[in-house]
Structures are given as structure tokens and as C-alpha cells.
Structure 1
């Protein structure tokens, strides 16, 4: 059983508390020694943009006319206006599909570091944090059912609301793609997706219609699915709809590589993850409570910081705010409606995207995780999904038939699988630049979206009162602190009895081993869809990937083309001495690519960009790709690579956007029939199919 006690995880826990984007900073310089071929590039890498101090480069999107959109996410408040607020903008005066551009130099002055710079053209913001949009609302801010902004309430936060725009996906309404709607993710809790009308003038400049911009979170259709959490990156489906990924970091039920079966025959504390404390009063305090209860034997409650915002999500759903006390939420439990954890951590499809109110549907059947992004293949059946954070899996969903052929999205059915790295021995303790990762796919289960939705609904009535009354002997109304301690310890030792139990996980795994994925009892079929990561661990999936972030292929990509996958950091589970992946550590991360096979399968991840080590000097690190986050494959085969880093030995603290040209690239590209759009967009259909066609059956 892995040893994840407080003594050897103190530094990791401290980094996690700072947020996912900086995890690894605390110990990187001490542990990441010189790894051969780090950094290195198989091809050409050139800097196109640097963002303002404190901000990530997120949400790249490219129109048919070559306009590049991207977001300014969480910039420093010390930057001069307008670069001191989160916002969405574009590069005016440059066609990004032109492979010739002036490579940007490093930001060397305070002025250069405090604003967004691009090699060609000019970065122009057309919408920002705090802007007033339709119905008098504020851009990116969810409200309660009675219209009160959730910012009015006390409670833990998962980031500042309206400060973290991420994905941008453009749905055109004309063939030239000069008019349409920009869908933007807001990475927060409660989550939001804004729908903003855009139009391009004759001189090429874009204008936003803020009066008709909608916070989709505040529509009845959005609220009816329970809202969303932590909307990160996303995709444009081959049927022309925006796909938003919920990066639900708090989904781990056990920390890091620990499996449920590791504790099958043991009594006492188990190294629980954040999901087991989802309905705890003041859930973000659970780490300090575990530290107090167990001292040096405590552990990192993986994802505990991502429980932030659950109280606000409850108020968004209509719960009465409890004992608001200035800027803090008291410990009085919320008695519902309260967020059901199994309703979050999915891919959300916005059908009818150009209608007044797009219709959201969550693809529960694709599994539950901290999704960074999906990549839907042009067969319209195969979807690859990356999950961010420590010790996560790489997943594939294959629908029984093309997804838009289902008249009712809840009828979408298919098979969920997890990747297994099979060349562990060959890859052990080798430089990542020299090691391909060979993959098999382990089937986890088959279901329909409607079936999974029914399983999820079984947990809708669980709230914070349940946490106390189910797990504590003391009446919380008489002695709250004692009851909370009893409940915490009961959950640590026996699991949260209000959710899927350890016993169900183990029973599913036992039947799976004996009978295969389709031979489990009916009541256990829910396990791999509601507890995807726990199920993958039990059947031998490789749940070791560290911050598996951007994933993309070109529009209409076919067998022989490539899918690109970004790994923001190669450390922890990928570089330890256990499991399927044991390569040398590279805290700067890397980018893999995988050739699409005739059946839209992929079986080999080939490294093409490797970042620097944490110990590298500015001379080495300044022009290297550090901590890849979002990436977008242009239809000529080049790749836009966005960073989420402001660390290591660089001479500057800014994140950058690079253009990667593969060594085997040719100017003709390999998707010339599909227009100029970047990303894995709407392929040959140009958005004409909204997914409401008749069933094939």
C-alpha cells in the first residue's frame, strides 16, 4: 500500500493549497535535476505572444478568416488597465493562418511584462470582468433563482467569480464566419458559460454585442441540469456545438495512487480524497481537520481546495443561505438543495447553440473526472478525454453510433475505457524525450446517458445535515464540534455512507475480474461512470498522468493524422518508482502526439516537445515551452501551445503562446478541404447539424 503520510507529502500539500496551476513549485528546484533532452523540440517552436503578468494564456480559437481569440485569465491586479482584469480578446490585424510571423522577443521590461504582447497585429479586448451584459447581469457571474448575484454571499471560493475566462468556441452564423456567437467558459464555482454575439467589420475588427450577451448559467435550462463547476477548456463538436469540460478537481475518493482495495482488510484511517467530504459543513476545512486529528500520520486530502464554492453553488440552486457572518460562512449545515457530487465532472454539450437559449446536456456516460478537454473524432463516435491534476487517467469513449444521430441526447450510449501504458519496463527511468508510451485500452463499462442520469439522481437528496446525522452519534444541534469530529473520523475510516460505498467499488471490481465489464450485477453498473477514477485504478488502468491538460486534433482529422496531448508536468506519479510510468522527471512538462489509426484508435504517444527542468538557467528556459496547458491544432498541421507557468529559471515571469511546427510539416497541410478553422471543430458540416436529426434506428 502506498505511503502517503503527512511526513512525505507536506510539500505537495502546500503546493496543492496554492492551486493546480502552481502545484510542484514548492519542491521542483530541489528535485528536478538535469534530464537529457530537456528541453527539446522535434520541429520548430516560436513565441507568438506573451500575456500580462499573473495571467495564463487560455481559450485559443481561430476562425475561418484566421482571427485568433484567446482569454486573459486571472491577471495581476497590479497591471495597468485594461490588463488588470480577466477578459476575452483577439489579435487584430493579423491572419494567424499565415505561417510567417515576427517571433516575439522575451518580455524584458516592466511595461512589456504588464500587458499582452503579440508578434504581429495587436491584442484587443472586447469583453472584460465587470462588464454589464443582458438583463443587467455581470459577465460571468451566476445568480440565485431570485436573481441575486452569488458574489453577495459568504462562503468558500473557488477563485474570484468572473476573473477566470477559459475556453472560447466560436459558432458562426454565416459561411464567411464573420458573424456568430462566442461561447466562453468561466472557471469557477458555480460555473458559467457566456454566449456573446460577435461580428466582424469590413476592416477586419471584431465587435461584441454585450447587451445581447447571456450568462447561460442563469437560464432555466442550465439550472435544470444542476449548473456546472469549474468550466475549463473545451471543444467544438463535429456537429457544430460547443463542448464545455467541467474540471471537477474534488472528484478523487482516495488520494493519489491509493486504491480502494488497498484498505479492504484494514481498520482505522484511510487516505480519503476530497469527494468523500463533499457534503461536509465548511468542506474546505477538512484538510486542517485531518491534520489535527492524525498529526504526522495525516495525508493530503487530494482536491480539498476544489471543494471551494460548494456553498455558493447550493445558493445558486436555491438553498437558503445559512448564518451569513461577514465574509465567512458559519458551520451551520445547509439542508438543501445541495450539490450532488455525481452531477459534476462531465462534458457539457450546448445543443441548438444559435437559438435564444441553447439547451445544455451533460454526457454522464463519458465518465466523471477533472476534465480539461475532450477531443471528438470525425467519426462522431470516438472521444478522447484528458483529466487534470495528480495521478489521473487518460480516457476514451466510443458511442454505439454517431452521437448527433441520437434524436434525444440522453439516449447516447457507448463504452468507456481507460488507457493502460504497456511498456513500463522499456520506459523505466528514461528521459521522456526518448520514450514513446504504448497504450492498450481497458473497457470499464457500457451504458446510456439516460441510465447514468438515473443512477446519479439516487443521490440528489444528500445535504450537509446528512453528513452529520449519518456519521455522528452526537446530536449536532447540541454539540456541533463534537458531532463534526465524529462524522469526519467515521468518514475517514468507513467512507461516506451517503454516496457510492467502498463495498460497492470492491464488489464491482471482483465481479469485473470474474466476468468482465458486462458481467457485473445491474446495481453495480453505475460504478465506473460515477466513480470513474476509482474503477480505473481497480482494474489496472494507468492512473499516474500528472496534469494531463490540452488535447486536440485538426478539424476533420482522419486516420493518419495526429492527436496532440499536453502533459503540464512530468513528476509525481509519472516519475516515481512505482506503477506503469517511471520516466525521468521534467517539471516543465511535454507534448505528445498520437497517430490516428484506421478505427480512430490510438496506441502510441510520441514525445514531440519537452520542457525544461526546474533547475535550468534562463539561457535554457527562456525560449522553451513551460507547463503546456491549452493547445489547438490548426488545420495546416501547426499547433498553438499555451502556457500555465510563471516559474523556473526564466528571466521573465510571463506565460506565452507558442506556434509549434512539426518536423514533418508541409505548407499544404493535411486537412485542406475543411477550411481554416483551428481546433477540432465542425469539420465538413460547417455547423449545419445541431444534433437533432432523426435516430438511425
Structure 2
């Protein structure tokens, strides 16, 4: 249940993401649809709908269910568009070949060219964010921008319109894949487009959820690697970006641990998300000579065109959204992460973002001037910040037991990482545009790959594990940046090191002690044009791992079902206190609790009256008696000075903070998505499983 959007008249739209193919039509394919016959009202009554009960039968579990309105499909992924020359949500090579794995369900499988090898999900199968840009004053016509969470990724633009009866329809003849335009291809395209935001200046901002960016595993730091003089057990997926068959590195490490005296067997964080990287090379025009029948041989490295890792993991703004071809702008200056979503505030300068995955951050960017006032978006200039949790209560226990996150506010100090212009950061990124898979061998192996590719690959892998990938920003540069930062401050580092916090945001933040401990920070939103006194909501899908271990700034009780925090915007659009307003349930709770509570929150969407839509992407169980995700409506009533007061207001609040939601319970329209065992949000350590880290 992802990608909610509420139209001007209160109509509701969302993405039917990765449903089971065994569901009856029309719910067996990924799609985007709306609820016919239902509209939220914004007259203060907040009495819009009846709650739907839990799905008890298999028939109910295979249906999209609501007590208010019927879910109507607008369009499906992989629908033919552009006179059949393209498929919706599917990227193409420069010569117009669809980049997608073979799909056994495709009736034209034998006739349609396809690619063998690994891809991050079947192309056009994971619609996520939807943002509507109207083209008339009544807001009954316009363009629906949709993120496709694949690699290569895509953002589609589909004209939609509403008739006099309130029903919506899509004009598929004039739909387009923005990743196949020259504007976005010039940036290297996109990967894993997840959630996004409708900017105050009326454009879609898409977030790239590049899970393969970690330099280090979990709570480790680059300094740990340098001190240990080995990255065994410490290095993340980023080091293997330009390795031939990068998605196979974990299997290779297991072999090295058994036969090559590698210190330990481990899986680099984010390595599963290296799938699809070579498909990005094809998107950019690389030779596909290793494509034979249904196999991707990759017996030789890609040496002509290869994606630059520093071009992925950003917010992408589609300027001039109604133009024949919108202009794609990547905000490199806002930092590089596994962005789930951005949230631009009413000052049009302050942007909050969440990075999804294990041991990740929430970040803040503040532009020097309102972003739309820059004549050239590449001139956007500003400061990037990382969070530091400062209150002792976040890591204190009572009576030997950890505190529940339900009772503890998080006090945040924002650490300045650096100040730059968008053009400056892009120029640093461009320095790595010519790195290919051949460079992986030449920088790290003594054996000539052409003579013995297997031996050269083994040598290169072991060298990279021990000393890092020398083709990109080095471990030593990150540690030296942090040393100079601590000594001279963010403005006192050497000029050539200023790139570090923008290209290696997570690693740099960890190195200076920022609280990069959030697990699956999956949602951030506020009302449109939010100002001082309004709220920003942060959805943390799982409160575990680094948030519940014995180190760092946050050491609290584990709540696998996650937490939604609320922060009040201050006069300068800063937020300094995160208050828990929805908590639980835990995976150890019984179905009687978990069946009727928000778990594993994904997108959060603040409606104009202050209510918040909370989406789930949690794969049902454990704890649940059914496998479906749902949509909840959170209705805030009052704000206590402390988290404890908020809990006291909730008559159902449990002492351990697990189970029912704080304040009002957060239970509203629970549109059970019709997927019996659909795939879930991927995590950093286990790939496409049930979202548990």
C-alpha cells in the first residue's frame, strides 16, 4: 500500500504495489488506481468512512477492500504506450530496446527482446509514489507522475482527467517514460525511484532509493576499516559497484573465506541491491555482447560505458512538468542516500529527507535562498546536515529494562556537514564518469584479466575488501575529512575534501559521530506550504537493530512494527524534538493486537486538514493473521509537552508502548491490499524478504 495522493475534491489514489500474480483480475498485476465513490471531507467532522474489517478468508485477502468506494484501476505497469514503442515503467537502451528480464507471463515473450541477468525487480512492476500536477484551475485535468521502484528506475507521466461524475481516466496514448528522455539520460538515468513529494513550486520530486551506496556495514565506520587495516566484515556494497557481476560478491566472499584465508565470511550491506547495475550500463549504451540466449555470461568486463555510482541516490526534480519533455534536475547538493522521500517546507528552502535501510539517517538541507528563485537549478546553494540525538533518556534504562520508544522524545541537534552549490557537487561527481569494470581489475589485481579473468577477479576482490575500492573516494580521504572537520569545522577542510560529505553522505556523517542509527526511515511529510507551528511526520518502519542495541545515541526497547514521530516546525523551519505518536506493534505481539494496528509504516502523507495517511509495506506477518498491507488515517487531537503526556491521553496506551497507537489510535480507513504473499520492501541485509533486518 504505497503512493497515496489526495485530489482537490478529496478523492484518494494509491499504487497497488507487488501484488500476488495469483490474485483474480484486476488485482494480479501492479497498478495505480483510485477509489470511485469516495472523497475525504475537510469540514472538520473527520467522519468520512467506516473502517474495513480484517480479511479473514483467502478471497478477501486477494481483493482490494474498502468500506467506502471501489478501487478502480487507472493503468498497469508495462502497458504499451507511445504507439507500442514503449512499455509503461520500462526503461530502454538508446536504440529503443526494452530493458527487462524475461517474463514467463508475457504472452509476447518469444517475440519481445529481453535481457538476461539480474535486475532489481521485474521492470514496470513496482509503482510507488504518485503526484498529480494539474493543468487547469479546477484541477480536473493534469499529469500523474509515478515512480517505478526498479533498477534501472523510471518515472512515468500519464495524462489523467476527471469527468462530471467524478470518475478519473488515463490517456495512455500520451503517456511517457521520463527515463527515456534525453534530459534524464544526461544524468545517467535513475535507480530505485521510491517515494517523493509535490514541491511548493508545483513539480514532482522523485527520490532515488539507492540501497547499494553503503561504504560500511551497519554501525561500522570507515575509521574502523583503516584502524583494522582490513575491511573484512566491515565493507559495504559501494566498494563493488564496478565489479563484473557485482551482485555475486556475497557468494564470492563465502568462497574466499573458505579457500583464501579471508578473515571471515560476511555479506556487504546493500550487496543485494547491486543487481540491476549492469542493466544501467545497457541503458547508457554499453555493448550487450555477453547476452546469449537466456544467460548473462559476463565473461569480460564492461569497458565502454558504465554507470557512475555517484550519479544515483538523489532527489530528482522534474521542472516544467507540462512541457513536451520535462527538464530533469538532480539535487546533488542535498546529499546521496537511499532516499525514501523528501519533504520541502513552506520557506521553499528547508528540505527533510529519510534514508531507508539499516543504520541510516534522517537528513536536513537548507538552501541559501528559496529554491525556485535560482534561475538555473544547478546554482542551488545550501548546507547539508546530519542528526545527532542528544538526550540521555534515549539510551537510559529504568530498573534494568530499556525504555520503550513510546515514552521517549528524541532531541535532535543538526550537525553541519558541508556547504556547496549544486554545480560544484555535480562537477565532483563527473570526475568518476569514465570509470568502468576494467578499472576494477587494473587498480586492484596484478594478474591480467584477459589472461585469467577468474584469478584477476579473485585478486581484485580480496584487495578491495582489505583496502577499499581505489576507483572512487578512498577510505583515507573520508577519515582525513573527518579529522580536519573535528579540528577546523566544516568550512575548514581542504578544498579537495569538500566533496566527501556530499558524495559519501552516510560514511561522512558516521565518521563525525552523527546518529546514523535509524532503521528503515521510510516516510517524511508535512502539510503543503508548512510553516512554523505545523508538523513534520517521520515514519520509521522498524525500531530495532541500531536503535535497540548496546551502543550509540539510541538504545531503547525493540519495536519491530516501527514508530511514527512528529516534530513541530520552529520559526526558522528547524525541528529539534521528535515525539512518538504511533508505536507498535511488535512482532512478538499476538494477532489480536497486530491485526488492528499500523505496522511497518512506509509512506506518510499529511492531508490539508492535518490528518495523516499512513501506508504499510510490511508483508503481513509475523504476528498478523493475514498477509495484507493496509492504509490508516491518523487523526491528531492534541499535543502534550512530552511523549509521556501524549501516551497518557491515549486510554488504550499500553505500558510497554507496543500495540495500539498513541493519542487517537491512528486507526482509520484500512484498505487491505489484495496481495496474498506479495514481495515486500527490500532491506539491506537480506534482499527481497519480509522487510525484517
TM-score, reference length from structure 2: 0.87
Shift of 1:124: 0.4
Pick one of 149, 158, 164 that aligns with 2:98: 149
Instruction: Sort the Cα spacing of 1:400 and 1:321 in 2 relative to 1 into closer, same or farther, 3 A.
Output: same
Take 1:599 and 1:267, find their aligned partners in 2: how far apart are those partners? Answer: 44
Which residue matches 1:58?
2
Q: Using the alignment, how far apart are the partners of 1:475 and 1:520 within structure 2?
A: 38
- 289, 297, 316: which one pairs with 1:322? 289
Q: In 2, distance between residues paired with 1:488 and 1:149?
A: 32
Report what 1:381 is aligned to.
Answer: 349
Match of 2:340 in 1: 372
Tell me, yes or no, if the aligned pair for 1:190 and 1:229 is still in contact at 8 Å: yes
Q: Are the aligned partners of 1:246 and 1:347 in contact in 2 as well (CA < 8 Å)?
A: yes
Map of 2:36 onto structure 1 = 92
Secondary structure of residue in 1 paired with 2:273? helix
- Say whether the 8 Å CA contact 1:65–1:176 is kept in structure 2: no
Name the residue aligned to 2:381: 413
Show the counterpart of 1:397: 365
Q: Is the 8 A contact 1:322 1:333 kept in 2?
A: no
Alignment-derived partner of residue 528 in structure 1: 501
8 Å contact from structure 2 (residues 538, 564) kept in 1: yes
- Which of 217, 239, 242 aligns to 1:279? It is 242
Report what 1:303 is aligned to: 270
Q: For 2:78 and 2:290, locate their aligned partners in 1 and report how far apart those are by CA, in whole Å.
A: 28
Q: How does 1:232-631 map to 2 (within 5 A)?
A: 232-270=194-232, 271-295=234-258, 297-331=264-298, 332-428=300-396, 429-631=402-604
Aligned pair in 2 of structure 1 residues 253, 368: CA closer, same or farther (>3 Å)?
Answer: same
Residues 427, 437 of structure 1: 8 Å contact kept: no
Determine the C-alpha separation between the residues in 2 that align with 1:495 and 1:426. 34
How far apart are residue 135 of structure 1 and its match?
A: 4.1
Separation (CA, whole Å) in 2 of partners of 1:135 and 1:241? 27
The Cα offsets for residues 58-117 of structure 1, whole Å up to 9 and x where unpaired, read as 100111111111001111111111111110001111112353211111111112110211
Contact 2:231–2:468 (Cα < 8 Å) also in 1: no
Measured in 2, the distance between the counterparts of 1:661 and 1:459 equals 48
5 Å matches for 1:114-263?
Answer: 114-136=62-84, 137-151=86-100, 152-263=114-225
Deviations 1:647-691 (A, max 9, x none): 1211211000011111329xxxxxxxxxxxxxxxxxxxxxxxxxx
Alpha-carbon distance in structure 2 between the residues aligned to 1:212 and 1:113: 34
How far apart are 1:268 and its partner, in Å?
3.4
Deviations 1:405-424 (A, max 9, x none): 00000000000000100014
- Tell me the C-alpha RMSD between the 2 structures: 1.1
Q: CA deviation at 1:426?
A: 4.6
Is the Cα contact below 8 Å between 1:192 and 1:217 reproduced in 2? yes
CA offsets, 1:161-189, max 9 Å, x none? 11000000000011211000000000001
Is 1:282–1:329's contact at 8 Å kept on the other side of the alignment? Answer: no
Q: Is the 8 A contact 2:394 2:553 kept in 1?
A: no
The reply to whether residue 654 of structure 1 matches residue 628 of structure 2 is yes
Aligned partners of 1:263, 1:214: CA distance in 2, in Å?
45
Q: Secondary structure at the match of 1:518?
A: helix
Q: Distance in 2 between the 1:135 and 1:455 partners?
A: 40
Q: Distance in 2 between matches of 1:378 and 1:584?
A: 35
* In structure 2, distance between residues paired with 1:83 and 1:255: 38
Aligned partner of 2:655 in structure 1 is none
- How many corresponding residue pairs? 609
Q: By how many angstroms is 1:425 displaced? A: 4.5
Q: Secondary structure at the match of 1:177?
A: coil
Q: Deviations over 1:439-476 (max 9, x none)?
A: 00000000000000000000001111111121111111
| SS in structure 2 at match of 1:150 | coil
Post-superposition offset of 1:265: 3.2
2:10 aligns to what SS in structure 1?
coil
TM-superposed CA distance for 1:260, in Å, is 1.1
Offset, 1:266: 2.8
Offset from partner CA, 1:353-376 (integer Å, 9 cap, x none): 011110000000000000000000
Structure 2 Cα separation of the partners of residues 129 and 527 of structure 1: 38
Contact kept? 2:394, 2:410, Cα under 8 Å: no
Mapped partners of 1:605, 1:219: distance in 2: 40
Moved over 6 A (4+): none
- Give unmatched runs, 5+ long, in structure 2: 101-113, 397-401, 640-693
Deviates more, 1:445-454 or 1:213-222: 213-222
**Higher RCO (C-alpha 8 Å, min separation 6):** 1
Preserved CA contact (<8 Å) 1:322 1:334: no
Shift of 1:322: 3.4
| Whole-angstrom CA distance in 2 between matches of 1:171 and 1:252 | 34
Question: Do the aligned partners of 1:570 and 1:590 also contact (CA within 8 Å) in 2?
Answer: yes
